[in-house]
Amino acid sequence: MHTADLQVGRVYRQFDSVDAPAIAEERIHVVARMAALASERQVDAVLVAGDVFDLQTVPDRVIRQLFGAMAGYVGTWVLIPGNHDAALAESVWTRAQRLNAIPPNVRVMLEPGVVGLPACQTAVLAAPLTQRHTYNDTTEFFDGVETPPGWLRIGLAHGSVEGILAEDIDSANPISSSRCETARLDYLALGDWHGHKRVNHRCSYSGTPEQDRFRGNQPGYCLIVDLQPGVIPTVEAVRVGRYRWHEIEHAVAVDSDIDLLCARLATFARDDIGQVRVSGRSDLAGQRRLLDAMGRAQAEMRSLSWDVSDLRLMPTAEDIASLKADGYLSEVIEELRAAQADGAADADARVAREALTILCGALASSTVGASSGSVGSSTAAAP
């Protein structure tokens, strides 16, 4: 099994105090799921290609939880540090050693070297990062490593394969695109990219096993790699992640556009995390329908945030009539509508949009309160 970028101990500051701990804890749970899968598939070893921890400063409790989650697979684990948890003189790994938290079946490679797996006649050539950023290829030593005749050679590294990123990006921790050939590797297991990516027929990024950002680059998998001497590896991507992250940019021009977004929101469930940005224009009824749909979806999902600041609120004559906004209030609403017109300064349009939303909401509350005989409804329009 090939995995990487567990990022255990990550802190999600963009979420509230209820959602953030649950999302962070899933990074431990996914390790337990992979351990169970490794046991079920009877793999010969689990290779973790760096960034096991998200920070050097994760609490001792998190260190113990990580190694506890590995208990479901009693075979060999081989771990290397990545850029987030580099093997510094004092690091999360030295703390793990002092805590005596690392089980006997877990090999943590804090220096470049080879791990022999005699049972499956395989040599794992490990290239840990001993500092956060380096501009030398840490896998270069693979070329000169001798292994027993007939044994499989697997490289384990963390970094960026040269030639994949845009030419103007100066990426740290480079890895030669020809390393499989020059080092005679049967497979090169990589970490650093958080999405599953096949570099060539003998080299892959596994991606993070639990999605951690709004990017659709195939996160949430681990790889089951079947290796035979002289044969191109068979690589199976197995989904192990729980949460699915959705980033939605939605433009509203007509009522049916709101219907489409409401229908999509209704498909999400408790294992979905969403971020929605809505632009365009809507009448008051459409805005109410949209906000109601987002509120209901938020109650069903793990987390949902939305931004409707770029949705221009353009009340119709029917909206204004339903709000019983006549005289001065009607004039104010019309002025705020006009302030959102195309060509208006962004800041002015945004202020007008927010003011119109507040005013219409206050008027709607006042109208509903008055019709139901609610005490204090006259103060609802105070803003």
Residue type for position 122 = T
Cα(76)–Cα(71) distance, integer angstroms: 11
The residue written with tokens 């992250």 in the block is: 245
Q: What was the pLDDT predicted at 25?
A: 97
Burial per residue of 155-189, b for 16 or more beta-carbon CB atoms within 10 angstroms, e otherwise: bbbbbbbeeeeeeeeebebbbbeebbeebebbbbb
Greatest Cα pair distance in the chain: 92
- Nearest CA-CA partner of 52 in 105, 125, 107, 133: 107
**Alpha-helix runs per DSSP H in the chain:** 19-41, 60-69, 92-98, 179-182, 255-265, 284-300, 317-322, 328-339, 346-372
Residue partners of 328: CB distance under 8 A and separation at least 6: none
Q: What was the pLDDT predicted at 375?
A: 29
Q: What is the pLDDT of residues 150-167, one digit of tens each?
A: 999 999 999 999 887 555
Cα–chain-centroid distance for residue 101? Answer: 27
Contact 124, 134 (CB under 8 A): no
- Nearest CA-CA partner of 128 in 161, 95, 84, 169: 84
Q: Return the DSSP state at 26.
A: H
Residue numbers of the chain with a pLDDT score lower than 50: 168-169, 367-383
Q: What was the pLDDT predicted at 70?
A: 98
- Give domain limits for the chain: 2-239, 243-313, 314-383
Q: What is the pLDDT of residues 358-381, one digit of tens each?
A: 777 676 655 433 333 332 322 222
Beta 303-313 vs 272-282: how paired, if at all?
parallel
For 243-313, CATH number out of 3.30.750, 3.40.50, 2.40.50, 1.10.390 equals 3.30.750
pTM for the predicted model, two decimal places: 0.84
For 2-239, CATH number out of 3.40.50.300, 3.60.21.10, 3.40.50.2000, 3.40.309.10 equals 3.60.21.10
Q: What was the pLDDT predicted at 378?
A: 29
Angle at which helix 346-372 crosses helix 284-300, to 10 degrees, equals: 80
Whether 2-239 shares its CATH topology with 243-313 is answered no
